[in-house]
Amino acid sequence: MYKIATLNNISPLGLDRLPKDRYEIGNDLVDPDAYILRSFKMHGMEVPASVVAVARAGAGTNNIPVDEYAKAGIVVFNTPGANANAVKELVLAGMLVGARNISKGATFADGLEGTDEEITKAVEAGKKNFVGFELPGKTLGVIGLGAIGGGVANSAVALGMNVIGYDPAITINHAWNLSSSVERVNDVDEIFKRADVVTVHVPLIEPTKNLVNAERLAMMKPNGTVLNFARGGIVDDAAIVEALNAGRLGAYVCDFPSNALKGCAKVLALPHLGASTNEAEDNCAVMAAQELRDFLENGNITNSVNFPEAMLHAREDGETRLSIASDNAPDTIARLTGAISAAGLAVAHLVHKSRGDLDYTLLDVPGSVPGDVVEKLKSMPGVRKVRVMA
């Protein structure tokens, strides 16, 4: 039996992917094999030595000490793309809200008083203050062309917009899925200089902190719109408010309220609704559960943020599989296979991958692996974690 501890409420559709005859699931399990969570903050949390994996039902992993867990041999999974449609739809809604001054217009209408006739007169007199713009022919600048950014870009093309995109690390799969009408640029500043609307879809890491700042906002066309449905901290809120109050920026729509943004009439800040749909929560939970199951039962790794991707076909009857996380070293394979050979065992199948300072090895051994051999592997210099799958 594998024990999976839940740190948040997880969609039953995902947990159902973990068969009850092989998995015990609960929020108060002792010495679990793995955690599955959404937004629970694991920084500073004491994690027992039994834990080999953490799966986040979502894309961002800022709430998880990823590097710390890598050093301990704990694989951290996320679910990129599982909530992409939900976020994409909200970004498009935000773009329309900003373009047509919907939020400000609704606030104006909600504050009208008097008879219906008086309200109608006030509407006709006041609507000129909320004139917006149409999207066809306008330029959308997309920073980050992954599952969400690429989806936004493709949808904007369908709406008749000119789309330019910046992503120096775009994957081949995401590039294939991108409309040929999207123009890629090599300098992020070009996005701000050319776009009427800028939307960001990058993780919050040190190089992206305050990516949208006063200097770049000054490059934008008058009355431009900025959208942030990625992470708070990517946009400098103080610079946004200053640009809005000075009349250089037309609107800011985001998913991350802050004290700096409160009270600014040209800001619409939503309560982190990006992935808040039933469908997205189901998709993320299903994907996270599948990743965990494949890792726990087979040692396979997909969509990890701290380990290399590694896949080995299903082991044959009678074989034992070992998964070994270790420091990246040129002699890793030789040392591991040497220890196994010295015990009179053969290696039937092997895959070895590296990522940064970490090596990950999967190997199949015909028959069983004696406990003393496993202990010898665990005690080898640089070995972080060893698992045995019979």
Domains, in order of start, for the chain: 1-82+278-307 (3.40.50.720), 84-269 (3.40.50.720), 309-390 (3.30.70.260)
Q: Is 104 helix (H, G, I), strand (E, B) or coil?
A: helix
Evaluate if residue 259 carries a pLDDT over 90.
yes
Q: Which two tokens stand for residue 378?
A: 């665990």
What is the tally of helices (H) and strands (E) in the chain? 13, 16
Q: Which amino acid, 317?
A: D
Q: Which amino acid, 345?
A: L
Note whether 48 and 33 are within 8 A (CB).
no
Please give the pLDDT value at position 115.
96
Distance CA(193)–CA(213), nearest Å, equals 13
At 316, is the pLDDT very low, low, confident or very high (cuts 50, 70, 90)?
A: confident
Q: Is 150 helix (H, G, I), strand (E, B) or coil?
A: helix
* Model confidence, pTM: 0.82
Note whether 85 and 308 are within 8 A (CB).
no
Distance CA(17)–CA(23), nearest Å, equals 10
Please give the pLDDT value at position 89.
97
Please give the pLDDT value at position 372.
94
10-26: per-residue pLDDT in tens?
999 999 999 999 999 99
Evaluate if residue 390 carries a pLDDT over 90.
no
Q: Is 224 helix (H, G, I), strand (E, B) or coil?
A: strand
Backbone angles phi, psi at 338, to 5 degrees: -65, -40
Q: Which two tokens stand for residue 120?
A: 């109608």
Residue with tokens 């076909």, as numbered in its chain: 313
Distance CA(75)–CA(308), nearest Å, equals 9
Q: List, in sequence order, every beta strand (DSSP E) within 167-263.
A: 183-184, 197-200, 224-228, 249-254
Mean pLDDT across the stretch 319-326?
97
Please give the pLDDT value at position 60.
83
